[in-house]
Structure 1
């Protein structure tokens, strides 16, 4: 079987190749660059809890070595503190995980190091494709000089950015909105009054503050500062940016403290969504498939979720074959999730960027605006929370055997502690990404019982027999408790950590049917609605 061709060696392409390698699938990564990235301290990424765990699971140490996990979030409007939230702790009954902030070149470098240690990934620098051909058995691409050659792959994934050559060769439209937001950015080393905390300051009182300025901490007293610019404003000159920096630091510290300027830039954010994410054996992921980033949302988060979603499906196809239902589900799930994020941002932009007026005088409006912005920055709500695939084509029909738990079907499972039959106890997320389903039994007391006893007691023998009979490979785990679940509840979880279904007790037939649905049915199964007209969810996914 030919390897999977990954076009593009940014974080998404590297993460996808590592995720496939973890599941025994060889890849060839075609990198049009030299194989290294220029350090840009002002170009940083914020990873939420799920994507940060994915990167660590793939073997990238950069998050520990060069990233900073925020300790808090502050929102300020004019001179008034609107909200101060500790992160990594609990606010009321809702845990607020801390995002991880690091330079993008550090993340890329860490992923490249992980790739270098992976024998199933072949990196090919200076390889820009100019031809793409498909047939029933695979994909053939040609790279132009200086490394002119033909490459053969079983599948191909375009992770080659906003100007994707793969997308253009597949003739896929990329509609959307241009210049949704503009930001002036500076990375500097300085002491600010909130070490480890991210700060959003709306309507700062100094003359050059603009409508909004954000300070996000990095290790070693480095901060990234972002100033929201008018949509159509004058060019930001170096002198004007230095004035902004000095005025902002003085506004926060009382006077301008000593600082070291490391990097600057002006970034324009666009919102775009590719019409199709799959064309036969070719797929799009990351910025090649979508662009977003306004209101604190993170396009890289979504790109890494693309990679995690697609990797186990391609691994299934590579090892055992896959139905069109399974391969089509990548577009159905991920495109709908990103479209929902874009819609939420487009609906919030007029409220948050619509200027002053009576709206700013309504009691509680500042706090409501702050909540919307915090959602995007902290990974909460419609602007930032990990997606749920509630209407996935891989969802089994609901039956009377299904039981509700704290996680709705299609949503990411809670990261509880689990025990494998070999006695090893780990976090649930550590068992993801291996290409097989997870079956989890909720069995209170197993943590204090001798494993030799509970493996042969109660429902375990019947559950082991049911798991062995599933149509797809599955790993059986046990947990002491799961939110909203009673004793002897059985959870079926996808390889990417989304809940398929929960059952009250051992229901072998229903568990088998749910596992078959989660793998997209037997090889050769085609979507029942092939050739249908676009549904409402398809139409609302477009960004105009």
Structure 2
């Protein structure tokens, strides 16, 4: 029989990739101590996720992580589009989202470095990842879950209020729940390599959309290396023991580089799947355990981190008794809809990028090189591209937590960022708060004070209007910075009704 260990904290996390690590850090930020384990011996060393999007940095700011992550990464300032051995277009990515986010850029920060950073931050907060520890199984009990953990040849039992599977595409949590993972696998075999190039360090993003292959290159600041990702030619896909030397000539030609050193090399297949459910009872799925898709647009890791932040504050509110248990239902309804939409979008982009048909060749060789530089020359074009990839457009209009609209901002939207006020500065991820741009009515001020609900008042500016905010409207903000209630008349009765409906107690 497995030996019994002391009761675990309230949330057990299986999987210590970026999703699980951010979930653990977010729970700690909300006063909930997690337990996190992973069957691997340590953080990954051959990961392929590279880009940290603006919305992730906004969420990291609430956790006090953003500046440290930016310092360790590198801002990608230009995109070089290549066709065969020639550059056909260059697009500036500097301040792509200026005026839309305090982080108007894409950051290159490889997942392996990213994971080590998060592990260090978690350890500094007093929580160590339990490596070499596998979740063997679990069952729900009347007041929580009971899990069996396997380390080496021995098993132990652990109790927790909830369990979250952040354990990747082959999630043990999802398997125990018996949830389907519908979707498919692309036929192409991909490679990823960490290399040192001859000549000066290349800090830009290069993409080759040649008919005979697909390759991209991103910078790795921590080691002065570059990450190469691409499609293995079909003629080599079945070669046993495939290595970088088999691809060297083609890769160097496609990207116009010479590789001096290969740090590591791996191959992988790309899948597109979304789990049937993200929640079943006291068990949740997040990150790759719930959704996997093509790497187009650098969305996968960022989506998992978004899952983690969304789930963490809701678990904390319920565990602290500050929200009704039904709050947890909104995790699945909010995140699974976005995951399904993302899989569809990245699937279309991916198929276009690797298509060898006439349509795909026209898009890659004619449309993109001509239209992208033109669009990037106008603010509207830059902003449209930034909104598309940065994840600041994520919204939950159909969520049970979303009510009302004021100006151009509807409940469920991410609170628009207003420069130079920086109205995101008060958002510390710690709890609910009100925000008003304009005059605050005495009735609303009294209602906020009575409920110990922080109220941030900003003077009205034209910039707030351009961002879509309504003058004198009250926006009740969730801990993740999305609008829960948009109230144009500052009606304290509507605020009270909203709190009662969701069982909210705003006092921390």
Q: Give the TM bin, normalised by the shorter chain.
A: 0.7 to 0.9
Whether the aligned pair in 2 keeps the contact of 1:493 and 1:499 (CA below 8 Å) is yes
Q: Does 1:489 align with 2:468?
A: no
Q: For residue 311 of structure 2, give the secondary structure of its aligned residue in structure 1.
A: helix
Report what 2:3 is aligned to. Answer: none
Q: Deviations over 1:308-357 (max 9, x none)?
A: 10011100110006434311110001011010001112344444433232
Gaps (5+ residues) in structure 1? 205-209, 420-425, 444-457, 524-544
Report what 1:196 is aligned to. Answer: 203
d(CA) in 1 for partners of 2:293, 2:279: 20
Report what 1:27 is aligned to. Answer: 34
Report what 2:215 is aligned to. Answer: 213
36, 42, 52: which one pairs with 2:57?
52
d(CA) in 2 for partners of 1:134, 1:175: 25
Whether the aligned pair in 1 keeps the contact of 2:106 and 2:390 (CA below 8 Å) is no
Report the TM-score, using the length of structure 1 for normalisation: 0.78
Whether the aligned pair in 1 keeps the contact of 2:53 and 2:389 (CA below 8 Å) is no
Q: For residue 190 of structure 2, give the secondary structure of its aligned residue in structure 1.
A: strand
Alpha-carbon spacing, 1:415–1:486, altered in 2? closer, same or farther (3 Å): closer
Alpha-carbon spacing, 1:89–1:144, altered in 2? closer, same or farther (3 Å): closer
Deviation of residue 92 (structure 1)? 11
Structure 2 matches for 1:260-275, cutoff 5 A? 260-275=261-276
Q: May I ask how many residue pairs the two structures share in their alignment?
A: 480
d(CA) in 2 for partners of 1:174, 1:231: 27
Report what 2:134 is aligned to. Answer: 128
Whether the aligned pair in 2 keeps the contact of 1:73 and 1:197 (CA below 8 Å) is yes
Q: Does 1:107 align with 2:90?
A: no
Report what 1:415 is aligned to. Answer: 417
Whether the aligned pair in 1 keeps the contact of 2:100 and 2:416 (CA below 8 Å) is no
Structure 2 matches for 1:4-153, cutoff 5 A? 4-34=11-41, 36-37=42-43, 39-40=45-46, 43-55=48-60, 57-60=62-65, 63-78=69-84, 79=86, 81-89=88-96, 97-119=104-126, 121=127, 123-146=129-152, 148-153=155-160
Deviation of residue 190 (structure 1)? 1.9
Q: Does 1:227 align with 2:230?
A: yes
Deviation of residue 136 (structure 1)? 2.7
Q: Does 1:465 align with 2:419?
A: no
Whether the aligned pair in 1 keeps the contact of 2:80 and 2:87 (CA below 8 Å) is no
Q: Deviations over 1:207-255 (max 9, x none)?
A: xxx33211111215421112223579523677873364345445655xx
Report what 1:403 is aligned to. Answer: 406
Alpha-carbon spacing, 1:92–1:201, altered in 2? closer, same or farther (3 Å): farther
Whether the aligned pair in 1 keeps the contact of 2:426 and 2:456 (CA below 8 Å) is no
Whether the aligned pair in 2 keeps the contact of 1:11 and 1:107 (CA below 8 Å) is yes
d(CA) in 2 for partners of 1:192, 1:46: 24
Alpha-carbon spacing, 1:38–1:72, altered in 2? closer, same or farther (3 Å): same
Gaps (5+ residues) in structure 2? 1-7, 376-380
Q: For residue 138 of structure 2, give the secondary structure of its aligned residue in structure 1.
A: strand
Q: Does 1:431 align with 2:392?
A: no
